[in-house]
Structure 1
Amino acid sequence: MREAGPRVTSEQYDSWCAAKCAGIEIVDGTVLVRPVASKRHNRLARLLANALDAAGGSEWNADTDFDVRLQDVPLNNRRPDVVVYRAETIDESPTRPADVLLLAEVVSPGSETTDRVVKLDQYATAGIPFYWRIEQAVGVVPIVHTYVLDPASRCYRVGEVFTGLVKATAPYPVEIDLSSL
């Protein structure tokens, strides 16, 4: 078995330019290259972010493609497809779990196990209150699986499942029509 190279620390990562950080995540100090997303994937993420942002009012912002620092040692830095975070922290970097309300991942070929199992566990362990997983395939209406954190166990319990039209009441009321995608 080959030994892994040196681990990336939070200090090292924070010194890197934005271009070097784009398209990667850090898990247990190891750099992981993220698969290139399809146009369908990006559109789904953008539609979700736009609807969640509009419904979040002045307290919550929603956006795509930026880092969430799950922990410093070993460094765990994820770049979820959609992040709902406290509006007052817009200029703070990195974004920390205490300022995140919801993370959403759009499952694509190459990210199935990571989005369905690994991130579900990591986000719960970090204390993120809500996780949404969006299953998508060409010619099929997207399915949104929602999860709610049980704070005592730091595990998610299964929430509602939406096909096409999302009419969620948690984390706040939002309606998103994904059936036309």
Structure 2
Amino acid sequence: MTAESAEHHWPVPPPDGYTVDDLFTLPDLPPHTELIDGSLVFVSPQRDFHSVVIDLLVNGLRSTAPPELKVRREMTVVIDKRNGPEPDVSVVRAEAVTGRRQTRYAAADILLAIEVVSPDSEARDRDAKPHKYAAAGIPHFWLVEMAGQDDAPVVQVYERGEATGTYALTGIYHDRVKVSAPYPIDIDLTAVDEL
């Protein structure tokens, strides 16, 4: 094998950046590639915490979700032409689910976006994505971080204010998330140790 054949040729971005259409048509993109402000963002390997907490949240959200809502993990949410982030978990309107080959949802169909913070995505998960989700009108956002000596999940729950169009913190949950919006949810966070 020569050095030339071992080289990887990365796509050259267009002058104005990539679009959501590019995100879904560029060949050979790694799984879970996101589009943030016209730039492709590749996901690095995740911690066990990330995977287990996503499973815990998906199971907990599904256990009480009304029939008009569905819970999805790691699906692209189209915010605009230059932004297609992929929340770790989303609660979506059931009528927006069109079939097994679906690859994306419109921001207008998302009621809750959840990000589980990873070392490579801290700034995006804490700053860029919440601002974009709020600006797109997604009414609820959760940020989940690993904390304490036991690396337990801590969930920060935010709700979008209609007057400001921004998120306000409504609670921080350590052992159990029990909220009434976007629907009655009760998730035992300590169950993460059983997964």
Q: TM-score, normalised by structure 1?
A: 0.88
1:12 aligns with 22
Q: Cα distance, 1:114 vs. partner?
A: 1.5
Q: Does 1:43 align with 2:52?
A: yes
1:144 aligns with 155
1:84 aligns with 91
Note if contact 2:114-2:143 (Cα within 8 Å) is conserved in structure 1.
yes
1:61 maps to a residue whose letter is: K
Q: Secondary structure at the match of 1:102?
A: strand
Between 139-148 and 76-85, report the one with greater CA deviation.
Answer: 139-148
Note if contact 2:139-2:160 (Cα within 8 Å) is conserved in structure 1.
yes
Between 132-141 and 103-112, report the one with greater CA deviation.
Answer: 132-141
Note if contact 1:53-1:84 (Cα within 8 Å) is conserved in structure 2.
no
| CA 155–33 in structure 1, closer or farther in 2 if over 3 Å, else same | same
Cα deviation digits, residues 112-145 of structure 1 (max 9, x gap): 2221111121111111100000111472321110
Cα deviation digits, residues 11-45 of structure 1 (max 9, x gap): 3333246x636231111211111232222211101
Measured in 2, the distance between the counterparts of 1:46 and 1:180 equals: 11
1:38 maps to a residue whose letter is: R
2:63 maps to a residue whose letter is: A
Q: Does 1:53 align with 2:62?
A: yes
- Which is higher, the Rg of structure 1 or of structure 2? 2
User: Where does structure 2 lack aligned partners over 5 or more consecutive residues?
Assistant: 1-11
Count of aligned pairs between the two proteins = 175
Q: Secondary structure at the match of 1:57?
A: coil
Cα deviation digits, residues 102-121 of structure 1 (max 9, x gap): 00011121222221111121
1:133 aligns with 143
Measured in 2, the distance between the counterparts of 1:180 and 1:139 equals: 13
1:123 aligns with 133
Measured in 2, the distance between the counterparts of 1:108 and 1:170 equals: 26
Q: TM-score, normalised by structure 2?
A: 0.82
Q: Does 1:28 align with 2:37?
A: yes
Aligned CA-pair RMSD: 1.9
Measured in 2, the distance between the counterparts of 1:66 and 1:21 equals: 14
2:72 aligns with 63
Note if contact 1:50-1:63 (Cα within 8 Å) is conserved in structure 2.
no
Question: Identical aligned pairs, as a percentage?
Answer: 33
Q: Secondary structure at the match of 2:181?
A: coil
Q: Does 1:97 align with 2:107?
A: yes
Indicate the structure with greater strand content.
1
User: Where does structure 1 lack aligned partners over 5 or more consecutive residues?
Assistant: none
